[in-house]
Structure 1
Amino acid sequence: MKPLDATELFQLWDEVLHDGLLDKSMRLLGKACSFENSVELGRLSIGERDARLLQLREWMFGYSLKNMVTCPKCNEVVEWEMDTHDMHLQKIPADLSVKTFYLVKDQFKIQFRLPDSFDVSKIISENSADPDSLITNCIVGVANENGEEIPKDQLSGEIIQALDKRMSEEDPQADIRIEIHCPACSHNWESVFDIMSFLWAEIDSWAKRMMQEICLLAKSFGWSEKDILNMSPHRRRLYIEMLT
């Protein structure tokens, strides 16, 4: 995986402007991994995918992460800040292969994989009311103590819960939560952090700012979009300061 330069990122932003969030993220990862086939990237576990997106975010925008959230108790807008070093909960594997795991419980041996982007997309598109469907979709096979294959719908709710817990342990990057304190009412709570939506909000903001800078510098100096994008951010900023 490699960081995208300004020209690559700006071009990608333009190409995927009207795509869905997941498609945008797959295209971004594909570009960073020099991978045209998004199917294999879509089979990455949620944690493996998000670990890569977090790495890309650090290369693009640094390690300081700031956001705002509304307090669920008093509706106060609370700002929070975090160092992304503290958000890395698992390593980025070198390969893209789908890994399988085993859970042995109540005389059942369950082979499973971790939820991926396609699983989540399927649940959303089907608007499934079954809270366990994401888990059961990832079960590869179930055998009893005699080694006989049995239907996965015979698994108890307790086993499904144990499987959910084990998946979370194997893929911790998939569920990042930020502890937030409201200074107005002293309420404390956890907020789920979604790297996909956060990163694309930053990319959108960056791209629109870049368009303004390109317009200003092109008008003033006659430079091409390509020349301006190839400049370092520091050099662009110095030129803009000269004009203001």
Structure 2
Amino acid sequence: MRLPGGLLREGELRRQFRFREPDGALELSILEGARRREPLPRQVSRVLVAALEHLGGEPPELAKVEELCIADRQFLMRRLRTWLGDEQPWHTVRCTGCQERFDFELNVAELPVKEAGAGFPFVEVETGQGRVRGRVPTGADQLALAERVTADVRALLERCLFPADVARLEEGDIALIEEALEAVSPGVVTRVGATCPGCGATQVVTLEPYSCLFMESTLLEEVHTLASAYHWSERDILALPLHRRRQYLRLVERATGQVA
């Protein structure tokens, strides 16, 4: 599988990645990670380290996944939810016109992905201060800003531009820099339109790119069921590949008459 952006190594973009076989240990790490009192960017990084078998041909490490651009991280988190077999095709939204709730079907995994542009992850822009060089923001930048009391676009540019006196940049210069970064950055869809069947009004629906962190899980109930039936340890059950755990659960259900 390929990232829309990638990691730059020795002048080459390394875009290949692979998730490891999903099992209960991975699911548990996601559940426990969501409970930690850590900034969201760090939670995302920990989950990706746990989920990836390799990243750009290298073992996943915290620093490497935080080096990924934001769109790559969003792309991976969406693909991970699909990898875990937890796609949610139906979404509910309240219409801003008639105020009624309605459901609409959307396969997030099939939404288009924008590939990185030429020169990624760097840009050069002519400003009032002369030509400045910048790079596309990363997970590390997200984390640094999340840990600040106040943060704005200038705080982000202080990390991503070189050399430049960000405080002296005109608003027009900032707009040019943002436009250039947007042009080379990959992207995933985070907003879609949905038409209300009642009044016909079109709603703009925001999609959570890190929804994998907030999945509802029956993992602990499944561990309890298998431990009760087979007297296996929690460690052994969590080590089972996801598809095998589900097969054993179906066998238990049949044996206890819970399914036909």
TM tier, smaller: 0.7 to 0.9
Quick one: distance in 2 between partners of 1:76 and 1:13? 34
Match of 1:147 in 2: none
Residue 112 of structure 1, CA deviation = 0.7
Match of 1:59 in 2: 83
Change in CA separation of 1:23 and 1:159 when aligned onto 2, cut-off 3 Å? same
Q: Does 1:233 align with 2:252?
A: no
Task: For CA contacts below 8 A with separation 6 or more, give which structure has more relative contact order.
Answer: 2
User: Tell me, what secondary structure is at the counterpart of 1:164?
Assistant: helix
Moved more, 154-163 or 114-123: 114-123
Q: Does 1:169 align with 2:186?
A: no
Residue 90 of structure 1, CA deviation = 3.8
User: Tell me, what secondary structure is at the counterpart of 1:61?
Assistant: coil
Amino acid aligned to 1:18? R
Quick one: distance in 2 between partners of 1:134 and 1:180? 33
Contact 2:29-2:47 within 8 A present in 1 as well? yes
Residue 61 of structure 1, CA deviation = 1.9
Quick one: distance in 2 between partners of 1:5 and 1:57? 10
Match of 1:108 in 2: 130
Moved more, 214-223 or 22-31: 214-223
Contact 1:228-1:236 within 8 A present in 2 as well? no
Paired residues in the alignment total: 226
Q: Which has the higher helix share?
A: 1
User: Tell me, what secondary structure is at the counterpart of 1:16?
Assistant: helix
TM norm structure 1: 0.75
* Partner deviation per Cα, 1:131-170 (whole Å, 9 max, x = no partner): 543345421224xxxxxxxx23332212211222222232
Match of 1:219 in 2: 228
Change in CA separation of 1:132 and 1:37 when aligned onto 2, cut-off 3 Å? same
Match of 2:20 in 1: 3
Alignment of 1:187-226 (within 5 A): 187-196=201-210, 198-202=211-215, 205-206=216-217, 209-226=218-235
Residue 113 of structure 1, CA deviation = 1.0
Quick one: distance in 2 between partners of 1:83 and 1:36? 28
Quick one: distance in 1 between partners of 2:201 and 2:107? 22
Calculate percent identity across the aligned residue pairs.
19
Change in CA separation of 1:233 and 1:157 when aligned onto 2, cut-off 3 Å? same
Change in CA separation of 1:116 and 1:129 when aligned onto 2, cut-off 3 Å? closer
Alignment of 1:140-155 (within 5 A): 140-142=162-164, 151-155=165-169
Q: Does 1:70 align with 2:94?
A: yes
RMSD: 3.1
User: Tell me, what secondary structure is at the counterpart of 2:204?
Assistant: strand
What are structure 2's unaligned runs of at least 5 residues? 1-17, 54-58
What are structure 1's unaligned runs of at least 5 residues? 93-97, 143-150
Quick one: distance in 2 between partners of 1:28 and 1:225? 20
Residue 212 of structure 1, CA deviation = 1.2
Quick one: distance in 2 between partners of 1:175 and 1:99? 19
Match of 1:24 in 2: 43
Change in CA separation of 1:73 and 1:237 when aligned onto 2, cut-off 3 Å? farther
Contact 2:113-2:189 within 8 A present in 1 as well? no
Residue 48 of structure 1, CA deviation = 1.4
Residue 4 of structure 1, CA deviation = 4.1
Q: Which has the higher strand share?
A: 2
Match of 1:33 in 2: 52
Residue 181 of structure 1, CA deviation = 2.1
Amino acid aligned to 1:54? R
Residue 105 of structure 1, CA deviation = 5.4
Quick one: distance in 2 between partners of 1:238 and 1:72? 46
Quick one: distance in 2 between partners of 1:210 and 1:129? 37
Amino acid aligned to 1:10? E
Change in CA separation of 1:217 and 1:62 when aligned onto 2, cut-off 3 Å? closer
TM norm structure 2: 0.71
